[in-house]
Amino acid sequence: QQPVQSPQAVILREGEDAVINCSSSKALYSVHWYRQKHGEAPVFLMILLKGGEQKGHEKISASFNEKKQQSSLYLTASQLSYSGTYFCGTTNSGNTPLVFGKGTRLSVIA
Amino acid sequence: DAGVIQSPRHEVTEMGQEVTLRCKPISGHDYLFWYRQTMMRGLELLIYFNNNVPIDDSGMPEDRFSAKMPNASFSTLKIQPSEPRDSAVYFCASSTLTGKKLFFGSGTQLSVL
């Protein structure tokens, strides 16, 4: 079951904040976040396991609400280097592969 | 480590031809995944292997697609015969465990004319 991401695209000016959401209709075991720059491979950002934890990566952090079966990625004080497509990937158990959402295209402009 | 290595980076072929994509996973990674990326569908899981054994190929679109992993350091994805709708970027990824961090290769951009 492919997770649903929102918004599909967002444009920010440098320094602005953004939130990208990822939701699933099935119970989640873990949520992964990846960023893909144009013409490149997706690069891992972070994993969140069920338990409602929040993790951080520089000015990029994420939360995981197990009850609501959703995760949010927070980008604060955005930089030009944050531009790219962000994918969430989800698993339903400890031994199932990642299923990715369709991605959110983030453009940061000066 | 060199990371996940895919070849070729670009492949242009004519409809009906056989296409073979290649992947070398990171040494020590027991899991290998093939994903296909298109604008419409995003990143779709085609098939994945554990210790060279195919575990789930339910994402393989048709019998025209086949994948093998003859040893721990090599996998192929073959399309025969190819069709224009197969045009996409095909990524190979590996990990130490399923559900763990994925390391992606650079992808193969396939264009079927």
Q: Reply yes or no on whether the pLDDT at B100 is more than 90.
A: no
Please answer whether residues B104 and B5 qualify as being in contact, where contact means their C-beta atoms are separated by less than 8 angstroms.
no
Burial of A28 from C-beta contacts in 10 A (0-12 / 13-18 / 19+): buried
β-pairing, A104-109 vs A9-13, is parallel
**pLDDT tens digits, A73-105:** 999 999 999 999 999 999 988 778 899 999 999
Contact call for A42 and B91, based on CB within 8 A: yes
CA–CA separation, B14 and A99 (whole Å): 31
pLDDT average, residue stretch B47-56: 95
**To which residue do tokens 């290649």 refer?**
B22
Average pLDDT over residues A22-27: 92
Chain A residues whose CB is inside 8 A of the B45 CB are 97-100
User: A96 and B98 in contact by Cβ < 8 A?
Assistant: yes
The predicted model gives A8-36 an average pLDDT of: 95
Return phi, psi of residue B69, to 5°: -140, 85
A28 CB neighbours in chain B (<8 A) are none
For residue B12, give both structure tokens. Answer: 């242009």
3-state helix, strand, coil in chain B (%, to 5): 5, 55, 40
pLDDT score for B3: 93
Determine, for residues B99 and A102 on separate chains, whether the beta-carbon distance falls below 8 Å: no
pLDDT over 70 at B87, yes or no:
yes
- Rounded CA-CA distance B51/B69 in Å is 9
- Cβ-Cβ pairs closer than 8 A, A with B, add up to 56
Per the CB < 8 Å rule, is A98 touching B102?
A: yes
Nearest Cα of chain A lies from the Cα of B99 at a distance, in angstroms, of 5
Residues 6+ apart with CB under 8 A from A61: A54, A55, A73, A74, A76
Which residues on adjacent β-strands are paired with residue B101? none
pLDDT tens figures, A25-75: 988 889 999 999 999 999 999 999 876 566 666 789 999 988 889 999 999
Instruction: Give the residue, A94 or B40, on which the prediction is more confident.
Output: B40
**Nearest CA-CA partner of A32 in A19, A18, A42, A41:** A42
In what helix (H) or strand (E) does residue B91 lie, and over which residues does it extend? strand B88-95
The 8-class DSSP code of residue B26 comes to P
Whether B90 and B76 have beta carbons less than 8 Å apart is answered as no
DSSP E strands, A43-83? 43-49, 54-57, 60-65, 70-75
List chain B residues with CB under 8 Å of A93.
99
Residues A29 and A49: beta-carbon distance below 8 Å: yes
At residue A24's C-alpha, the angle toward residues B94 and A13, to 5°, is 80
The per-residue pLDDT of chain B, averaged, comes to 94
Q: Is the pLDDT of residue B97 over 70?
A: yes
